[in-house]
């Protein structure tokens, strides 16, 4: 019979592969099964034919080897796009674009439905804009993306879907942190017992991992921005226009949300919860241009 201490150690060791299994499940199984309803979150709206056409054209511009060119294009209520899976997986990738990427014009945006709901990361932070209101009219106007901005955001997400490193880093990060927590569990158990040491070790690893995920998300944004901007002048201009539009939307939201907006959004429109705010991404593009100019002078 195992002792209580052995059970605690085995439970902790069992938690180490639990996250990678869940991570792969979320990213690899996106079809309509009864269990996917618990984690697959998409907008009920279908992407416009215009957006699909841009995705198809930009897919042809994607550099690098595409092993499994299966792509599911959907929409999200979030202000930022999301990528699930990747072209290196058998099931391919799903890219969720923000509603604004699907807008053809203001009239099309108005026809999307009785209201537009935007997600700010948590259920309690969701906001609905009634199309009949003047606030919604101004918001829709600010959300409109230029063609260059749409091409940039589409290409950048295609780049991310084809980047195996960005897909793997969260798995490596969890493996390192959770494994490092095991000797901590053994050491703390000598002083505070196995139950408390289990909670402290696993809780510490989880909190550290949450912070790591924020860093990785910021790294992913800067990496995909750089790879896309390097593809040509039109993508650089699209990046600037996209980020400027997002900041304009942020400034509008700050007014709409009142006191809560002051806590979540900076004066320039940056979302304070973002690991890498829009303004920093713009500065990174400026820095990239400066480095390229210096390289040309050296040559």
Token digits of residue 294: 């210096």
pLDDT (0 to 100) of residue 295: 63
pLDDT band at 39 (very low <50, low <70, confident <90, very high): confident
Diameter of the chain measured on Cα atoms: 73
**DSSP code string of 136-176:** HHHHHHHHPPPHHHHHHHHHHHHHHHT-HHHHHHHHHHHHH
pLDDT at 98 over 70: yes
Q: Which of 3-12, 111-120, 156-165, 171-180 has the lowest mean pLDDT?
A: 111-120
Averaged pLDDT, 193-197: 87
pLDDT (0 to 100) of residue 132: 54
73 CB contacts (<8 Å, ≥6 apart)?
A: 47, 51, 52, 55, 94, 95, 97
Smallest CA-to-CA distance from 243 within 285, 293, 273 is with 285
Q: How many angstroms separate the Cα of 227 from the Cα of each of 16, 44, 143, 240?
A: 33, 31, 25, 14
Token digits of residue 200: 């402290």
The C-alpha R_g of the chain, in whole angstroms, comes to: 22
User: In this predicted model, what pLDDT tens digit does every residue of 259-275 receive, in sequence order?
Assistant: 888 888 999 999 988 98
pLDDT (0 to 100) of residue 123: 46
Mean pLDDT estimate for the chain: 86
pTM of the complete model: 0.89
Q: Which of helix, strand or coil describes residue 239?
A: helix
Averaged pLDDT, 1-13: 79
User: In this predicted model, what pLDDT tens digit does every residue of 19-31 receive, in sequence order?
Assistant: 999 999 999 998 8
Looking at per-residue pLDDT, the higher value among 112 and 47 belongs to: 47
Side-chain-side CA neighbours of 233 within 13 Å: the count stands at: 0
> Tokens 């705010």 map to which residue?
277
Task: Give the rounded percent of residues in the chain with a pLDDT score beyond 90.
Answer: 52
- Give the C-alpha separation, 87 to 10, whole Å: 35
- What size, in residues, is the chain? 299
- Give the C-alpha separation, 4 to 132, whole Å: 63
Task: Judge contact between 66 and 106, C-beta under 8 A.
Answer: no
User: In this predicted model, what pLDDT tens digit does every residue of 123-153 receive, in sequence order?
Assistant: 445 555 555 567 777 778 888 899 999 999 9
């Amino acid at each position: 019979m195992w002792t209580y201490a052995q059970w605690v150690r085995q439970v902790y060791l069992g938690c180490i592969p639990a996250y990678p299994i869940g991570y792969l499940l979320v990213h690899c199984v996106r079809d309509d099964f009864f269990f996917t309803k618990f984690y697959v979150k998409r907008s009920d709206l279908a992407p416009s034919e215009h957006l699909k056409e841009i995705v198809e054209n930009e897919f042809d511009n994607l550099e690098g080897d595409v092993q499994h060119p299966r792509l599911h294009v959907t929409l999200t209520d979030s202000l930022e796009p999301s990528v699930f899976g990747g072209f290196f997986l058998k099931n391919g990738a799903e890219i969720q674009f923000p509603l604004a990427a699907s807008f053809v014009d203001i009239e099309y945006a108005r026809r999307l439905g009785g209201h537009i709901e935007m997600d700010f990361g948590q259920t309690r932070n969701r906001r609905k804009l009634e199309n009949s209101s003047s606030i919604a009219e101004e918001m829709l106007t600010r959300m409109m993306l230029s063609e260059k901005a749409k091409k940039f955001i589409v290409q950048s997400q295609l780049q991310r879907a084809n980047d195996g490193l960005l897909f793997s880093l969260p798995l490596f990060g969890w493996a390192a942190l959770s494994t490092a927590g095991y000797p901590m569990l053994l050491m703390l158990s000598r002083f505070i017992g196995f139950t408390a040491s289990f909670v402290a070790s696993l809780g510490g690893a989880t909190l550290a991992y949450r912070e790591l995920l924020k860093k990785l998300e910021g790294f992913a944004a800067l990496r995909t921005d750089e790879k896309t901007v390097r593809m040509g002048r039109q993508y650089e201009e699209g990046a600037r226009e996209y980020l400027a539009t997002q900041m304009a939307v942020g400034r509008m939201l700050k007014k709409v949300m009142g006191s809560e907006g002051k806590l979540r959004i900076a004066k320039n429109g940056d979302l304070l919860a973002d690991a890498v705010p829009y303004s920093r991404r713009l500065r990174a593009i400026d820095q990239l241009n400066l480095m390229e100019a210096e390289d040309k002078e050296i040559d």
